[in-house]
Structure formats: C-alpha cells, structure tokens
C-alpha cells in the first residue's frame, strides 16, 4: 500500500494570502488527485495531476485559484491562492495503486481562513 | 454524469446491534468500480473495499459485509455486532473503469454513531 505524507496537517491563514500544500508518496505513481472536503460535506475532486503535464481541473475549479505542480512521480503541490473564508476546508491528495484496486488518501490538510 | 446517493445522513445504534448503510449510484458506464471509505474523527480516509461492476458476489470481511445489487444500482454496507470504534463517517464512491483515471465521485456520507 502507498504511504502518503501531506504537509501541513493544518493551518490558519489570513484572507488574501496563499498556502501551498505538499503531498509526498513513498512510491512512484502516475496520477495524483487533489480533493476538497468542505465542512460537513463530501469530497469533491479539484484536479488530476500527471507528471510532466498540466493538471486537469474539474468543473468549478480553475488553475489561477488552485495551481498544481507535479515535478516528479512521487510529489505534488496544491496552492490555494488569494484565500477567502469560503476556502476553509480539508484538502486531501490521493493516489491509485495503478490497478484501480485501491485509492489511498493522505491524512489531509485542514485549512481555516480568517 | 455519475452520481452517488447516501440517503442516510446520520445513524445511531446501540453497541452490538447490526447496522446497514445504504448506497445508490447512477452511471452510464457499463464498467465501473464502487468503493467504501471510513473517515474516523481523526479525519483520514480509510479504504474498506472496492468492487467492480462485473462482480456481483457479496463480500464478507470480519464484521463487515457488502451487498452489491446491479439491478437496483445499490452497494450497501452492513456492520454486524457494531462496536464503538465503528463510529465514523462512511463514504460510498464510484469511479470509471478507465485505467489511469481513477477519480472518485463520492456520496455525501453517513455519520454512524455507536452508543456504548
């Protein structure tokens, strides 16, 4: 099984600032996924990140707001830009074992925007 | 478009009772995968099971069992002899079967509380 480390685990940020969340996997994976879980809500996919290409964003999410980097097969970052209180959520990264057998999730980053 | 419905928002049962969590899905794909995840109060998502659309056999793992019925587009999850440690939010999810495209559509979750 993949072990996923996410940093930071939580942060409190001021409106208008940006936060970069890191996701490190202990094995090489083709695709990494970023999800958002708003308070008391389900998980919503933000984007899919392939190594060496631009991320693919889901409807309602744009690159200017959530830029993603994927410099290699074990690492990705998600930036939440120009934050507002509505961005207060848990952000999770996810990877597949490659066979669609299991999808593993990081422990999440709990973001609060004041 | 894919959709997952978990109609039960919250369930409370007394310890040792059995409890079933419902999941109904919609998809136009003929091949797809269904998942259940557990999210305890600590927040991490714990993988419980994956089922592909061609495998309608029910599965049992200890106190957990899953009933997949394609005819009713349901994938229900039963916990037998519930324990306090089962208290969590449980999510049902659906994904396409394309290799390399394992993005999930989640239901809204069911918050399960086991009362000691």
What's residue A20's pLDDT? Answer: 98
In this prediction, residue B101 has a pLDDT band, given cuts at 50, 70 and 90, of low
CA B93 from chain centre, in angstroms, equals: 7
Summarize pLDDT for B42-51 with one digit per residue, the tens: 888 898 998 8
From the CA of B97, how many Å to the nearest CA of chain A? Answer: 8
Lowest mean per-residue pLDDT among A6-15, A55-64, A92-101, B89-98 = A92-101
Give Cα separations from A13 to A9, A63, A110 (angstroms): 13, 20, 11
Check pLDDT > 70 for residue A98: no
**Total count of residues recorded for chain A:** 114
Summarize pLDDT for B57-99 with one digit per residue, the tens: 888 899 999 999 999 999 999 999 999 999 999 999 998 766 5
End-to-end CA separation in angstroms for chain A: 37
**Which residues of A fall within a CB distance of 8 Å from B43?**
90, 107-108, 110
What's residue B102's pLDDT? Answer: 67
Tokens coding A69: 């980097």
How many CB pairs below 8 Å do chains A and B form together? Answer: 56
Q: Which residue in A3, A6, A38, A15 sits closest to A108, CA to CA?
A: A6
Residues on chain A bordering chain B, Cβ-to-Cβ distance under 8 angstroms: 30-31, 33, 41-45, 48, 90, 92, 94, 96, 99-108, 110
């Amino acid at each position: 099984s993949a072990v996923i480390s996410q940093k930071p685990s939580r942060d409190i940020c001021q409106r208008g600032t940006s936060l970069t969340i890191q996701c490190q996997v202990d094995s090489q994976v083709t695709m990494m996924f970023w999800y958002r879980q708003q308070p008391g809500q389900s998980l919503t996919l933000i984007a899919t990140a392939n190594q060496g290409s631009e991320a693919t964003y889901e409807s309602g999410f744009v690159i200017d707001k959530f830029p993603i980097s994927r410099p290699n097969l074990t690492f990705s970052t998600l930036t939440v830009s120009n934050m507002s209180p509505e961005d207060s959520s848990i952000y999770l990264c996810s990877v597949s074992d490659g066979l669609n057998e299991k999808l593993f999730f990081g422990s999440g980053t709990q973001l609060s925007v004041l | 478009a894919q959709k997952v419905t978990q109609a039960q928002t919250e369930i409370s049962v007394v310890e040792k009772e059995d409890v079933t969590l419902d999941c109904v899905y919609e998809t136009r794909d003929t091949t797809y995968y269904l998942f259940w995840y557990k999210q305890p109060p600590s927040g991490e998502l714990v993988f419980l099971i994956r089922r592909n659309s061609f495998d309608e056999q029910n599965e049992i793992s200890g106190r957990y069992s899953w009933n997949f019925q394609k005819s009713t587009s349901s994938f229900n999850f039963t916990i037998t002899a519930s324990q306090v440690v089962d208290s969590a939010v449980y999510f049902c999810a659906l994904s396409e079967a394309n290799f390399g495209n394992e993005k999930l559509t989640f239901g809204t979750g069911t918050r399960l509380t086991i009362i000691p």
